[in-house]
């Protein structure tokens, strides 16, 4: 069975995304929709872990998948993926990526 799991701070990433969209757009519905889209992509990547682009420059076995305007950084695992971080594509990924083995 393919599944996704999160590194320690990913839920905080998702909470921050929801908070930003809900406040910036004054729309909790839009925020919830964006989070749902991200969860759908986590599920997709769990079944097809090599769908994203390899980013060995960020760390061993790191892959990246764009869900505009966000980037999912993850590592394939035996039965799915482990999401390492979700960042806005306008951010400097090298500066914000939490490097974990």
The full set of domain ranges for the chain reads 3-96
Q: Is the pLDDT of residue 100 over 80?
A: no
Please tell me the distance from the alpha carbon of residue 38 to that of residue 44, in angstroms, as a whole number.
Answer: 10
Which of 66, 62, 76, 78 has its CA nearest to residue 1? 78
> What is the per-residue pLDDT across 22-34, written as a single tens digit (0 to 9) for each?
998 899 999 999 9
Predicted TM-score of the model (pTM):
0.93
What's the token pair of residue 12? 């905080």
> What is the per-residue pLDDT across 36-86, written as a single tens digit (0 to 9) for each?
999 999 999 999 999 999 999 999 999 999 999 999 999 999 999 999 999
According to CATH, the superfamily of the domain at 3-96 is: RelE-like (3.30.2310.20)
């Amino acid at each position: 069975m393919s599944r996704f799991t999160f590194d320690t701070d990913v839920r905080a990433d998702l909470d921050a995304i929801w908070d930003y969209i809900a406040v910036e757009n004054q729309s909790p519905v839009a925020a919830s929709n964006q989070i749902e889209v991200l969860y759908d992509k986590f599920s997709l990547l769990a079944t097809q872990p090599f769908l994203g682009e390899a980013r060995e420059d960020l760390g061993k076995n790191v892959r990246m998948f764009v869900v505009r305007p966000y980037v999912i950084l993850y590592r394939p695992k035996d039965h799915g993926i482990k999401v390492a971080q979700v960042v806005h594509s306008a951010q400097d990924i090298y500066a914000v990526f939490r490097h974990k083995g």
